[in-house]
Amino acid sequence: MTTEAIDAGRAGERLAAVDGLRGYALLGLFLVHMCELFELYWAIEVPPSAIHDAVFGIFAGKSYAIFALCFGFGVFAMMDGEARRGRDFTGRLAWRLRLLLVIGLLHGLIYRGDIIQVLAVSGLLMLVINRIRSLAWLWAIAAVFFLQPWMLFRIAAALSGQAWAVSPPNFTHDPAMPIYLTGTLAQTLVANLWDGLTTKWWFMFESGRISQIMGLFVVGLILGRTGFFGEGDRLKRIRRIAIPVLLVATLALRVFRGDLATLLFHDNLGGADWVWTMMSGAWIDLGWTMLSVLLFVEVRHRLGGRILGWLAPAGRMTLTLYIVQSLVFVPVFYGFGLGGYQAIGQTQAFLIGIVAFGVQMLFATWWFTRYRYGPLEWGLRSLTWLKRIPIRRS
């Protein structure tokens, strides 16, 4: 077997693993969106339910994080693939990110919770970080992002008596939500041009998600360089040690984060308690995210790709399915459509989501028997290279 064939086999293995993980993240994010009634949950009184606790406990704050990690790996895969062909992909990547931003902004007109534009803007950082060759430096950069330096600075400002640091978060002021409940389609589009957009970005910034996303980009890059997804046997020992250690650390932080705040700040956050709650919550979600990734890879290797491999086709057309989910279900729940938020509870929304995702998996599986790329994935690839890429399988 030639070296090229071996390299192609390894690349196929690692991409299949990441496609499956991306499909898992898409499932989780979709179920969260369904249980949120595509954000309208936060504007109406919904009785607590076991479904809510289960879906949010397993997926909320973790699924988008897995997307970010896969995004960082994707940057590695594209840059590494072109480097092997003797080409620098940096300029094309910058262009691709601009295309993604446009797609995200258009999608955000219907659903302001769009994450594509967040990944596209934050991804510009990868143009620089990808040039750092030292893994030690990359781990250090990721750690800085995960420590949430801006939120630590805000706590320090609050402790010193700065009024701005103890003001309520800007994302709690949400003038767009009443329009989502009762407005027309035109009113919803207009609201998302500014009010919905700014509320989303305030949340991403003030909750620490931007910093966490950037850290996960770097971790995805590191995992790509170390062969984490494609060479499971080589890293099996490290993975199996990391799983229980990470589980214990995450549970400990969840149980003792109040005591940790007292230890660090002597039980006086100067009015910035919500900042600590957001920051420590992001650390807990990060722990569950990394644990989810480790367990996913462990189960996949133990089962030889069975079961979890069913998610791979959906993972290969994540962009298409993610946008179609909004185009179908935002009108189902929002006031300009069927107004389903008034009649559909979380349990019903969850069950609808399970069935709908099953349909998406079947569609994706059928699609890839005939085509090489998902519909929007093909369009993005063609625009990236500014030429028509063949889509049909020969």
Predicted local confidence at residue 251, as pLDDT: 95
Q: What are the counts of helices (DSSP H) followed by strands (DSSP E) for the chain?
A: 18, 0
Helices 90-110 and 195-206, axial angle in degrees (round to 10): 120
- The residue assigned the tokens 């800085």 is 144
DSSP string, 237-249: HHHHHHHHHHHHH
Nearest-angstrom CA–CA distance, 261 and 268 = 8
pTM here is 0.92
Token pair in block for residue 62: 């973790």
Predicted local confidence at residue 227, as pLDDT: 85
- Rounded average pLDDT per 10-residue block, the chain, 394 residues: 38 74 96 95 83 93 94 93 90 95 97 96 92 95 96 90 89 94 96 95 94 96 87 73 94 91 78 89 95 89 74 95 98 96 93 97 96 96 95 88
Q: How far is CA 51 from CA 47, 66, 107, 337, in A?
A: 11, 22, 28, 25
Nearest-angstrom CA–CA distance, 148 and 275 = 10
Of the chain, the end-to-end C-alpha distance in Å amounts to 24
Predicted local confidence at residue 108, as pLDDT: 97
The answer to whether 30 and 311 have CB atoms below 8 angstroms apart is no
DSSP string, 300-369: HHHHTTTTGGGGHHHHHTHHHHHHHHHHHHHHHHSTTTT-GGGT--HHHHHHHHHHHHHHHHHHHHHHTT
The answer to whether 221 and 76 have CB atoms below 8 angstroms apart is yes
| Selection from 59, 10, 13, 24 nearest residue 296 by Cα | 24
